[in-house]
Amino acid sequence: MVIYQHLFWFYSHPAVYLMILPIFGIMSEVIPPHARRPIFGYKAIAYSNLAICIVGLFVWAHHMFTSGTPAWMRIFFTVSTLIVAVPTGVKIFSWVATLWGGKIRYTSAMLFAIGLLSMFVIGGLSGVTLGAAPFDMHVHDTYYVVGHFHYVLFGGSVFGIYAGIYHWFPKMTGRMMNETWGRIHFVLTFIGAHLTFLPMHELGLQGMPRRVAMYDPQFEAVNQICTIGAIVLGLSVIPFFINAAWSWLYGPKAPDNPWNAMTLEWTTHSPPAIENWEVLPVLTHGPYAYGQGEKQPVEATAVPAD
């Protein structure tokens, strides 16, 4: 049974990183144009991705601190789990530094990106506590773990997907989404997520276990708060779907580059033409040079026919 747990978590914990690493890429693409600043520490972000991929292979047994693992193994996986938080912290620092002093435009995409930052930090901090064996052995398999997991994957992955949709919707469809309904969607999602998942940490500290069909009446009040939050969270998708469907059909036509972004996909039409460009673009300088002169990131140069 213990061998099966090792095999399961050796796969399943890196799978969590698999769900969040693409979102980190979305964040690095969304924040600079909406903050009008170059991404801070581009190379550090790139190398931290590689560090997560490597160190993330050696953290799986922190899920098994209560399974009879020897003390030396608990120490090793506690240390490795704390270490894997460092490259993630590098990303957070780089994104916050990009926002610092920027000319931030609070578009729907930017609001979801900032919401991701706040929720992922909370999820990351609770993850650090769970990575420490002495604490984890007390809250293992409780709702504290459920709260942490959803702050990371809902506050991380889902918020990042929403940010990416609002950012690239004009490029994909050639139409602009309604920003007012986008902000309503963000507010409902942000409030609903916190109401749903933040009280779960308290439930876990009080000892409420995961995977129960009926919970002890002493947990009823906090669970009611979670239920209200879940209802708000469910309702939050309604303005999003209405906004997306209406905008796709009837939204105002999007210019080729509505965000004045400087990455390559914004140098073609919205939506892109067949083969993306009529002429082959030639890179002339870096793609994140916001505030560094008026030059465009690429120059389109005709390619002679063979």
The yes-or-no verdict on residue 142 having pLDDT over 80 is yes
Question: Is pLDDT larger for residue 69 or for residue 79?
Answer: 79
Closest to 290 (Cα-Cα) out of 68, 83, 5, 30: 30
* Beta-carbon-side half-sphere exposure of residue 243 (alpha carbons within 13 Å): 22
For 298, the 3-state DSSP assignment is: strand
The yes-or-no verdict on residue 23 having pLDDT over 80 is yes
For 104, the 3-state DSSP assignment is: coil
In 132-219, alpha helices (H): 133-139, 143-152, 159-173, 179-206
- pLDDT tens, position by position, 79-90: 999 999 999 999
pLDDT at residue 134, rounded to an integer: 93
Which sign does the torsion angle of CA 199, 205, 208, 211 carry?
positive
pLDDT-above-70 percentage for the chain: 92
| CATH architecture entry for 2-250 | Up-down Bundle (1.20)
Both tokens assigned to 292:
């560094």
Both tokens assigned to 215:
């919970």
What pTM was estimated for this model as a whole? 0.90
Question: Is pLDDT larger for residue 245 or for residue 273?
Answer: 245
The yes-or-no verdict on residue 292 having pLDDT over 70 is no
Task: Map out the domains of the chain as residue ranges.
Answer: 2-250
Per-residue pLDDT band for 276 (boundaries 50, 70, 90) equals confident
